[in-house]
Structures are given as C-alpha cells and as structure tokens.
Structure 1
Amino acid sequence: MTFDKLKPQIEVLLKKEDLEVKDKLTQVCELLEQNIPYYDWVGFYFKNGNKEELKLKSFAGEPTDHEIIPFGRGICGQVAVSNKNFVVPDVKAQNNYIACSIHVKAEIVIPLFVDGENIGQIDIDSHTADPFSHEDEVFLQWVNEKVAEIL
C-alpha cells in the first residue's frame, strides 16, 4: 500500500473520539507495520517526564526489552539529543546501536515536535537491508505532524 493511501486511514484513526491517545498510536503502529512490507517493528517513544530518557508508549511488532532508552544511547537516544531524522541503512555499521532483535538490519527514527519541542519520535525497524528512502522520511514526518495535533 502506498503512503498516499495510508494517509486518510491515519487521519481517521487519529480523529476517533472513543479511543485514548495511546490506543490511537497503537493503531497507527499496527496500520504501518501491517501495510508496509519492510516496516517490521513500529513504535512511538516519548520523553519520560523530566528524565533524560525516552519511554515506549505504543508499538506494533515483536515485544522489546527496550522500553526505556537514555538520551544519547542508540539511534532513538541520539535523535532525542540531535532533533534530526536518523536513517540507518545498516545497523551493524553503527557503533552506538542498541540491538532489539537479531533480525533488524535497518532503522529509521523521526523526531516528533510539539510547539517546536522534541517530545518523542517514531521508530521503525526493518529486517530488510537499506529499505528506507526520502519518501519514508517525508511520510513519517507527516505522520508525526498529525500525531502532534492530538497531543
């Protein structure tokens, strides 16, 4: 399914009034994980209160032990500090990578901003080597913009 076909579905999910934010985010994760063949794990991490760490809020895919990630550690922790997209075509080439699964070959992390502040991120793991394109970045930035509207 193309990104353009997923956009209206994401908008409908995020507007559901009978769901809590966490459930809306879980459904977005599930939609992406089920419809984009190389999105094998999709999750939203958010800053954990005043702590210098991220906490996993919603995800789709295999369960992970990495529910808390300190700022600066791994790809997610680096994005929390840099405020910039991070596309990793080959996780084995990263020396500050936190392995979630032996099957993960690539990762993309896009920060989520509310009123100019980086409050979280969407994290995608792929079992496919180098699958992410500029279109993935643009699409995931759009997803985060829509999510920011409900936070």
Structure 2
Amino acid sequence: MAEDLVITRDASKEAQYQSIIPQIRALLYGETDFVANMANVAAALKEQFGWFWVGFYQVKNDELVLGPFQGPVACTRIKRGKGVCGTSWAEAQTIIVPDVEEFPGHIACASASKSEIVLPLIVNGEVIGVLDIDSEVLNKFDETDQLYLEQVIAILLNR
C-alpha cells in the first residue's frame, strides 16, 4: 500500500489531511503490529507534509524511548516532564510550540528544529507514548494540525 500513497502537497493543509487520513486508515487496516503501524504512520506523514522530523516515543520503564521515526537521528530517551515530549506525556495533552527556543526546558535534539507539536497516545487513561513532529519553520503547527493528528492517533490506536 505504501507505494500507492497519493501525495497532495499543493492543496490546503486541511485538504492534505483529508487526503492522507483515509490512506493511513487503509495502510493500517488489518495490521496488528503496533511498531509496524507507528512506522507507517510516521512515513506517511513525513511523505505528505515534508516536515523535518516525524516520530514516536514509547513509555518504557518510566521514560520515553525513541520508536519509529522519519528524519535525522534523534534523542533516544526523555524523562517524564522534560522537554516538549516529556511535558506532553506528564500532562497527557497536546502541546503546540510555535518557537522551540521559547519553550522552558526544550531539549534540542536537532538545532534545525524551530517549531513542534507533540500529541500523547492515551490508552485506558494512561499515556503509552507520544507522536512528535518538528518543523524547520517557526509557527508551523496550529489547531488544524492538532485536530487531524488526533484523528491519526485514533486510527493508530484502533478507536
């Protein structure tokens, strides 16, 4: 299915999400391996939007551990409450950061990253990981991204 993705970069942000979300749903349909599904979600989002970095961290032994991603090498482990990812985990909420230099305690895994959105993956009231997306452009993410990326997470978590 991955080679069948239809990429629509010349459309509005909303239209791009409306195009890629059904494709992600089809890509994950019937596949039960969570790691494989995270990998395909990261790849599909990176292909569609061309963001600097797209990936997942999973909660393991009380820290976030790097999971499937697309982009340059990344921080491997993040403590709860540290940086944007650790804060999203601790607060169990989406965090949109227009300028990462202004986020208290930001962890600079890559100096090219300028803005970020992190969404928690919540199962039975517990955060099991986060979806982390970085851009080299300031103010790249907004409530539209949050709305549609939450739909992507719902698909990933089979909801």
Superposition TM-score, scaled by structure 2 size: 0.85
Amino acid at match of 1:45: Y
CA distance in 1, matches of 2:58, 2:107: 17
CA distance, structure 1, for counterparts of residue 83 and residue 155 of structure 2? 26
Alignment-derived partner of residue 40 in structure 2: 27
Unaligned runs of 5+ in 2: 1-7, 9-15
Which residue of 43, 53, 63 corresponds with 2:55? 43
Aligned partner (choices 59, 66, 69) of residue 56 of structure 1: 66
Measure the CA separation in 2 of the matches of 1:82 and 1:10: 27
Q: Structure 1: where are the runs of 5+ without partners? A: none
Is contact 1:42-1:59 (8 Å) kept? yes
Structure 1 residue 110 corresponds to structure 2 residue 119: yes
Aligned mates of 1:20, 1:13 — CA distance in 2 = 12
Counterpart of 2:65, as a letter, is: K
The one-letter code matched in structure 2 to 1:24 is N
Runs of 4+ in 1 over 2 A off after TM superposition: none
The superposition leaves residues 62-86 of structure 1 with CA deviations (integer Å, 9 ceiling, x where unpaired) of 121x111110111001111101110
Percentage of identical aligned residues: 34
* Amino acid in the other structure paired with 2:38: L
Query: 1:121-148 CA deviation, whole Å, 9 max, x = no partner?
Result: 1000100110112110011111111111
Matching residue within 15, 22, 25 for 1:8 = 22
Shift of 1:16: 4.6
The two structures have a TM-score, normalised by structure 1, of: 0.90
* Matched-pair contact (CA < 8 Å) for 1:11–1:146: yes
Alignment length (residue pairs): 145
